[in-house]
Amino acid sequence: MQPDLSTLDTFLDDHGADGYLVYADAEDSTQRYLSGFDAPDPFLTLYDGDVHLLVSSLEYGRAKKAERPATVARHADYDHMAKVEEHGFEEGTDRVFTDFLADHGVESVVTPEDFPLATADGLRDLGVSVEAEREGVVDDIRAVKTDEEVDHVKEAQKANERAMARAEELIGEATVETGTDAGSGVLVHEGEVLTSERVTREIEMELLRHGCALDETIVACGADAADPHDRGSGPLRADESIIVDIFPRDKETKYFADMTRTFVKGEPNDTVAEWYDLTQEAKEAAFDALEPGATGKDVHDAVCDVYEAAGWPTLRSDETTETGFIHSTGHGVGLDIHEGPSLSPRGDELKPGHVVTIEPGLYDPEFGGVRIEDIAVVTEDGYENFTDYPEELVVE
Amino acid sequence: MQPDLSTLDTFLDDHGADGYLVYADAEDSTQRYLSGFDAPDPFLTLYDGDVHLLVSSLEYGRAKKAERPATVARHADYDHMAKVEEHGFEEGTDRVFTDFLADHGVESVVTPEDFPLATADGLRDLGVSVEAEREGVVDDIRAVKTDEEVDHVKEAQKANERAMARAEELIGEATVETGTDAGSGVLVHEGEVLTSERVTREIEMELLRHGCALDETIVACGADAADPHDRGSGPLRADESIIVDIFPRDKETKYFADMTRTFVKGEPNDTVAEWYDLTQEAKEAAFDALEPGATGKDVHDAVCDVYEAAGWPTLRSDETTETGFIHSTGHGVGLDIHEGPSLSPRGDELKPGHVVTIEPGLYDPEFGGVRIEDIAVVTEDGYENFTDYPEELVVE
C-alpha cells in the first residue's frame, strides 16, 4: 500500500521544515505506516517527499527488500563504530543521525509528538532544528483509510464475530449452580466453573484459528463490568451483566477490529435492563449523527443527550462522575486499536474513510455495566456499519 | 512487588532534580515497573521518593486500588476542562501537568530517554526543567531481578519449553514429500504441508494453554533462517536448517522468557553441521565468561573469539558483514523481551540478578542459519542456566 502523503508535503512546506523524522520500532504505527518496514528495534525514517531509512546492520538486508523506501542506509555507512569510540554510544549515534540527515540536505525536522526526547535534544545539540508537531498530521492521514485498509479491518472484524459467538455459546451452554444464594449463582460449563479467564482463553483460541493475534480481551462480570477498563476475573455469575469486548489484530495485515456485547445469563436487574434499551437508543442516535461533515463531538453529544435526558450522569454533565457514561463515544481503528478520529468532546470533522467505533455504555458498581459497540466506516453519504452480530441481552 | 529504588533517589540527588517523570501507558515497562499500575492509555507517574499518579477519570477508580502509588490524582482535580477551554487541548493538558508537579513542589524533572518530546517542550515552555537521562537509571534497576521476578521468568520459560517441544514434535512427525527434487523436499504433516505459519500457530496455542501470550514467534527455514529477524513463512523443507525462536510473555505477571533451537529434518549440509558444533562451543565459551564482575562485552568477545578463530566473520571483525555472526550475544529479559544488560560490544558490568540470554549464531543465505539460545540468571558466584531443553540438530 502506498499512502497518499500529499498533506504531509503541504505540512512541511507550511512549517518550513526540510523533513519529517520518526525514530521508533514498527510497533509504533506511525513508523510502520510511513516506513512500510517491519522491524522490532528502533530505526530512523526520514520523509522529505521520499522515504529514507537508516537501520542497523541486522535489519539492512530486509530493509533493502521493503517496497516503500527510496533509499536505505545503515549505521555503519556513517562510521558508527568510530563515532561511538570517540563520543560514546549516545552522542556517537546522534552524530550518525545528523550525518544521515545532512546527506539528504536536511537541517530542520518536524517529528511526531512522542518522538524520544533524548534523541531530539541530542540532534539539537548538534545543530539540527527539531520540533514536535501536536496536530497529528500523520495520524490524520492514517485516519482516512483506503479501501484496502477498510478491507483489512473488515477481515479482522469477521474473526471478531466468530470469537464473540464462541463466548456467547459458552455462556449459553452454561448452567447455573443452585445453592443457598440461588439468585446469583455461579455459571458452570462442562462441570467446571466458567470464569472470565476461561472465556477469554476460548476467545483467544478462536481468534488464533482465524489469523488474529490477541491483545487484551475484556470479559467482565458484575462489579468488574462497572469499570470500563477492567479486564475481568473470576467466576461469571447468573443475573449479572457480562461485558465482552474483543479487539483482535490481524497477524498478517496488523489492522485491528473492535466490538462489544453485553450478556446476562438469567434475569437482568431492572436497571441493567433499562440501561440496555437506553444504550441501544444512544447507539442509534450516534449513528444518526455519523456522516461526513459532522464532527466527532456531534456524535458524542448525541449519546450524552440520550443518557442525560433519561437522568443518568455523563462526563459532559459532571466532569468528576464515576458512574453513568464515563468514557468517550468512540475512536478510530486501524493499525492502532485507538487512533483518530475521536468521537468525544474534542472530536473534529469526520471524513469518508474514517473507521470508527460507536460504543455507548453505562456503569455503576451497584448494578454492573452495559456497553454495546459496533464498528463502521464513514462513507461519502453517511456510514457503513459492518458489524454483523445480534444484540440480545439475555442469553438462553 | 516493591522494587528497591534507592539508586534512583541517589540519582535524583546527584542531578539536583526534584523528581523522575514518566508519561506513557503500561505497555511501557518503565511505566509499569515504577507505577505498579496497568492502564492502556498514557498516564503520568512522578517519583520523588514516593510514587504519585495523575490519571484520567476513567482510570481513577482502578488507580486508587493499586498498591504502589502513595497518591493518585486525576486531570479533573486540576480543572482540565476549563484549562482546555482556555488554552486548547495540548497546552491545557500541559498546564494540568505543571499544576500537578507544583502540588508536589517539583520544578525540575529527569525523564527516561524516550519521554515524549511534545510534552517535554510543553512543560519547558511553562517553566519546568526537563532533562532526559541516557544512563538508563530505571533500566539498570529493572535489570537486577528480585527472586520473585526470576521466578516469573522461569515460569514463562516452562511454557516456552512445552511450546518448543510441540514445534519439534511436528517437525519430527512430518514426512518428506518425495518428488523430482528429492534432496530438499517439503515437509508434510497429517496430509498437509507443514509451513512456518502452521508451526507458529501450534506454538501459540500451546503457549495460550500455559498462560502465556504470544508475541511474534520465529520459525524460519533455509534462506529465511539466514536473516535473524525474519519470522519465516511458507513450507518447511528437509535438509535445511529451521530456526525456532520463541519468546512468550506470561499473561499474568507480564514477564518474558526466550529460547532458540535449530533443527534439521533429514541431512544437514556440511556447513550447517559445522556451524552447529561451533555455536555450541561459542555458547559454552559465553557461559564460561558469565559471572558477576565480568562485563557483557567480555561475554560477547568470548563468542567472537570462537567464531573468528574458526574463520567466520563477526561484526567485531567486519562492521559491515552481512554473513557470519551478525548480532549481539544476548540481552536482558524481564518486562521487556529486550532490556538490560547488553551482552554486546557495549556491555557493562554484570551483577547477580541479571537475567540474560546467550544466543550465538551464524548466518549466510547460501547455507541458512544456526542459532542456539538459552536463558540464565547471574548469581553471586556465576550463573544458573534455567533452560531445560535438549540440543539436537537432527530431528528424526
CA distance B143 to B4: 12
- Sheet of strand B108-111, all strands in order from the earlier edge strand to the far edge: B71-74, B51-55, B43-47, B19-24, B108-111, B129-132
Q: Is the pLDDT of residue B134 over 60?
A: yes
CB distance A113–B117 less than 8 Å?
yes
Distance between A184 CA and the closest CA of chain B, angstroms: 25
| Phi, psi for B45 (deg, rounded to 5) | -120, 125
Residue B179: pLDDT band (50, 70, 90) is: low
Minimal Cβ distance to A208: which of B40, B204, B227: B204
CB distance B132–A111 less than 8 Å?
no
**Disruptive mutation site among B32, B134, B252 for chain A (greatest number of A CBs within 10 Å):** B134
CA distance B24 to B37: 11
The angle formed by the CA atoms of residues A32, A158 and A344, to the nearest 5 degrees, is 65
Task: Quote the DSSP letter at residue A29.
Answer: H
Answer for the pair B367, B225: CB distance below 8 angstroms, yes or no.
Answer: no
Reduced to 3 DSSP states, what percent helix, strand and coil does chain B have, rounded to the nearest 5? Answer: 40, 25, 35
Residues 109-148 of B with CB under 8 A from A: 111, 113-121, 130, 132-134
Say what the pLDDT of residue B184 is: 58
Residues of chain B found within 8 Å of residue A201, distances taken between Cβ atoms: 208
The enclosing H or E element of A394 equals strand A394-395
Domains located in chain B, CATH noted: 6-142 (3.40.350.10), 144-395 (3.90.230.10)
CA distance A283 to A305: 11
CB distance A58–B326 less than 8 Å?
yes
CA distance B11 to B104: 19
Answer for the pair B69, B36: CB distance below 8 angstroms, yes or no.
Answer: yes
Residues of chain B found within 8 Å of residue A90, distances taken between Cβ atoms: 134
Check whether the bond before B313 is cis (ω within 30° of 0): no
Say what the pLDDT of residue A183 is: 47
Q: Mean pLDDT in chain B?
A: 94
Say what the pLDDT of residue A17 is: 98
Residues of chain A found within 8 Å of residue B65, distances taken between Cβ atoms: none
Q: Is the pLDDT of residue B183 over 50?
A: no
Say what the pLDDT of residue B263 is: 98
CA distances to B247, B256, B361, B374, B378 from B389, in Å: 14, 17, 17, 9, 19
Q: Which residues pair with A123 in a beta bridge?
A: none
Cβ contacts below 8 Å, chain A against chain B, sum to 114
Burial of B312 (0-12, 13-18, 19+ CB in 10 A): buried
Closest to A294 measured CA to CA, from A361, A388, A358, A362:
A358
Closest to B269 measured CA to CA, from B117, B394, B137:
B394
Closest to A33 measured CA to CA, from A22, A19, A49, A42:
A22
Residues 185-224 of A with CB under 8 A from B: 201, 204-205, 208, 213-214, 216
Q: Is the pLDDT of residue B92 over 60?
A: yes
Residues 31-70 of A with CB under 8 A from B: 39-41, 57-62
**Disruptive mutation site among A109, A129, A131, A134 for chain B (greatest number of B CBs within 10 Å):** A134
Say what the pLDDT of residue B40 is: 84
CB distance B132–A117 less than 8 Å?
yes
Distance between A179 CA and the closest CA of chain B, angstroms: 31
CA distance A4 to A18: 19
Divide the 396 residues of chain A into consecutive groups of 10 and give the mean pLDDT of each group. 89 97 96 93 96 92 88 95 94 98 98 98 98 96 97 98 98 85 76 94 92 86 88 93 96 95 96 98 98 98 98 94 95 96 96 98 95 98 97 94
Q: For residue B119, give the chain A residue with the closest CA.
A: A113
Say what the pLDDT of residue A179 is: 64
Q: Strands of A202-292 (E only): list them.
A: 212-213, 217-221, 241-246, 249-250, 259-265
| Phi, psi for B27 (deg, rounded to 5) | -70, -20
Answer for the pair B156, B257: CB distance below 8 angstroms, yes or no.
Answer: yes
CB distance B117–A111 less than 8 Å?
yes
Instruction: Give the three cell numbers for residue A22.
Output: 520518526
CA distance B244 to B242: 6
Closest to A150 measured CA to CA, from A26, A286, A335, A349:
A335
CA distance B68 to B38: 11
Minimal Cβ distance to A134: which of B118, B133, B213: B118
pLDDT in tens, B321-369: 989 999 999 999 999 999 999 999 999 999 999 999 999 999 999 999 9
CB distance B114–A117 less than 8 Å?
yes
Cβ count within 10 A of residue B46: 27
Q: What is the four-CA torsion angle of B175, B179, B182, B184, rounded to 10 degrees?
A: -70
Say what the pLDDT of residue A53 is: 97
Say what the pLDDT of residue B396 is: 84
CA distance A127 to A302: 50
Say what the pLDDT of residue A182 is: 41
Which residues 6+ apart lie within 8 Å of A63 measured at CB?
A: A37, A39, A43, A53, A55, A69, A72
Amino acid at B253: T
Q: Is A87 on the interface with B (CB under 8 A)?
A: no
Answer for the pair B138, B20: CB distance below 8 angstroms, yes or no.
Answer: yes
CB distance B326–A116 less than 8 Å?
no
Minimal Cβ distance to A76: which of B39, B84, B319: B319
Q: Which residues pair with A212 in a beta bridge?
A: A250
Burial of A241 (0-12, 13-18, 19+ CB in 10 A): buried
